[in-house]
Chains A and B, each alone.
Chain A
């Protein structure tokens, strides 16, 4: 016979229900301090119930609207519900989580107001897919600790602020479009469109009509006017990828746009003003192509007002662990999985792989592993065969170094390079004593290539 009072059983039942739902639920009192925090709220925010209860909700939820237009406060002040408002919250590990929130007044059984209630739904998976489809990447999507990329980070706001034409040079898969997006999103044109076109993907005739558009009657099948990419990018940015593959004729046409800031759609009789910022990208060194007479020097100089050089992944190996973590997190969200990471052996293999396909290749390797892996940690057998077969070769060439040592070695080398092998500055940045630094340099056999012997 259960001797518990009825209201206690009802409360227990309510707790069970609220802990079983997948949406986060919390309540606050009139002072905005948290009075209830369900299990999903713990999972989404990273705070335990004990930590959250009694705190101001602004310090726990950390939504981007807390300071300006708190939805819960709005509900309490106006006694109105807020439904399905999209905001972001900050998880305890520093990850920004997109959520949809709904708020309303909380009343007791007599109808008296006792605070507010908020529910929130994690939209990470949806936003991730949306981001992939719409390719709306920002500055914060660039994942790097590498000093060469850090230098670019420092330049990006200044580049974005200007209206200058930018040339991004980097090997295939090094993230050229991501940087172009970041520049666009940081610029004053960020409310305008970002239009990308791969110049190498289309034959000349098609490329011309794609870039500049055509007017009705320009050719047999031109039944109506069609705007080109330059028109679509009006007040925004146009990103011309693989600009090195432009034919000489197209180079002349593009040069005119850059010089005159106008273009003529096919069949048009009057030029159209080009109100766009041009960012181009190339995987080849355009200077060499100019020297070979394949690329026009005047066009090169027009494109190359500001140049960003993106290093291949093999030259920024210190970013590999960070990128692995980034992709695992992304695929976890996208595929609704909970993979924790990669094994030490896998990390070792990836740290020594040359990545001819750069970051895209690493992304593909992790995606392949996600498909194959049914465990919590990605193991060698989950890697693509051409990568996992390298295990033996790497083992024999490395002796007994562990993946952690590999990471340390790479980080050490990168920091030394960053400070031009200045040991004092390097030791300071790494937070180690100079003696420790010298010991590690010797341990890993690192040598300054520019030092005189």
Chain B
């Protein structure tokens, strides 16, 4: 079972992890979504938000904007961070399940039509 967290804003990925108020927690087994729960993260300071994410026991975080600090801390807690992804949550999830979002050596992801990486360093 793999636990994936996605910060969400409406039906899209939240633009910043540190400012997001809602997290979608998805558990996946054999490539199939087993559970899908929403969590509120309002009025949490960064340290508590981080602690909460870690306590949720997530394996992967798919997000858009993320500060260096969060990336470092989550990686130190063995959470695989897939940053700078934007688009509609369902599309992103479908891409992830289809193996279209993959961490590459430099920490970026492969691009595709429905969800994209947008961090300015590999415009294609």
Stretch binding the partner chain, chosen from B25-33, B69-77, B91-99? B69-77
List chain B residues, Cβ under 8 A from A46.
Answer: 119-121
CA–CA, A160 to B45, complex, Å?
Answer: 11
Asked if residues B67 and A59 are in contact (CB atoms below 8 Å), the reply is no
- Residues in A with CB closer than 8 Å to B48 are 157, 186
Give A416 Cβ to nearest chain B Cβ, in Å: 15
B120 touches A62 (CB 8 A): no
In the complex, per-residue mask of A141-154: 1 if CB is within 8 Å of any chain B CB, else 0: 00001010010011
Known: A51-B118, A51-B120. A62 touches B72 (CB 8 A): no
Answer whether residue A429 sits at the interface, using C-beta atoms and an 8 A cutoff.
yes
Cα A138 to Cα B86 in complex, Å, equals 28
Residues of A within 8 A of B (CB): 45-48, 50-51, 55, 58-60, 62-64, 66-68, 90, 92-96, 138-140, 145, 147, 150, 153-154, 156-157, 160, 185-186, 429
Question: Are B47 and A153 closer than 8 Å at their CB atoms?
Answer: yes
29 contacts between A and B (CB under 8 A): A46-B119, A46-B120, A50-B123, A58-B15, A59-B15, A59-B64, A59-B86, A60-B118, A62-B15, A62-B65, A63-B15, A66-B19, A67-B9, A67-B15, A93-B68, A94-B67, A95-B67, A139-B45, A145-B76, A147-B76, A153-B73, A154-B51, A157-B45, A157-B47, A157-B51, A160-B47, A185-B45, A186-B45, A186-B48
Considering only CB atoms, which chain A residue lies closest to B78 in the complex? A429
Chain A residues closer than 8 Å to B67, beta-carbon distance: 90, 94-96, 140
In the complex, what distance in Å separates the CA atom of A237 from the CA atom of B16?
A: 30
Chain B residues with CB below 8 A from A154, complex form = 51
Say whether B123 contacts A51, CB under 8 Å: yes
Q: Does B21 contact A (CB under 8 A)?
A: yes
- Known contacts A45-B120, A62-B65, A157-B51; A90/B16 CB under 8 A: yes
User: With A and B bound together, what is the CA distance between A140 and B68 in angstroms?
Assistant: 9
B66-A94 in contact (CB<8A): yes
Q: How far is the CB of B79 from chain A (nearest CB, A)?
A: 12
Q: Which residue of B lies closest to A67 (CB)?
A: B9
B20 sits at the interface (CB 8 A): yes
- Taking A67-B14, A139-B46, A157-B47 as contacts, is the C-beta distance between A62 and B64 under 8 angstroms? yes
Measured between C-beta atoms, what is the minimum distance from B121 to chain A in Å? 6
Q: How far is the CB of B55 from chain A (nearest CB, A)?
A: 11
List the A side residues contacting B45 at CB < 8 Å. Answer: 139, 157, 185-186
Show the binding face of B for A, using Cβ within 8 Å. Answer: 9, 14-16, 18-21, 45-48, 50-51, 64-69, 71-73, 76, 78, 83-84, 86, 118-121, 123
Alpha-carbon gap, A50 to B78, bound state (A): 35
Closest partner residue, chain B, to A158 (CB atom) = B51
Cα distance A160–B46 when bound, in Å?
Answer: 12
Q: Which residues of A contact B118 (CB under 8 A)?
A: 47, 51, 55, 59-60
In the complex, residue of chain B having the shortest beta-carbon distance to the beta carbon of A141? B69
Residues of B within 8 A of A186 (CB): 45, 47-48
Report whether A64 and B19 are in contact in the complex, using a CB–CB cutoff of 8 Å.
yes
- Nearest chain B residue, comparing its CB with the CB of A150: B76
Residues of chain A contacted by B46 (CB below 8 angstroms) = 138-140
Please give 13 more A-B residue pairs, beta carbons under 8 A apart, in addition to A95-B67, A140-B69.
A48-B123, A51-B123, A64-B16, A66-B15, A96-B18, A138-B46, A139-B45, A145-B72, A153-B47, A154-B51, A156-B47, A157-B48, A157-B51
Chain B residues with CB below 8 A from A45, complex form: 120
Measured CB to CB, the nearest residue on chain A to B72 is: A145
User: Complex Cα distance A92/B45, Å?
Assistant: 22
Given contacts A59-B15, A64-B16, contact A139 B47 (CB under 8 A): yes
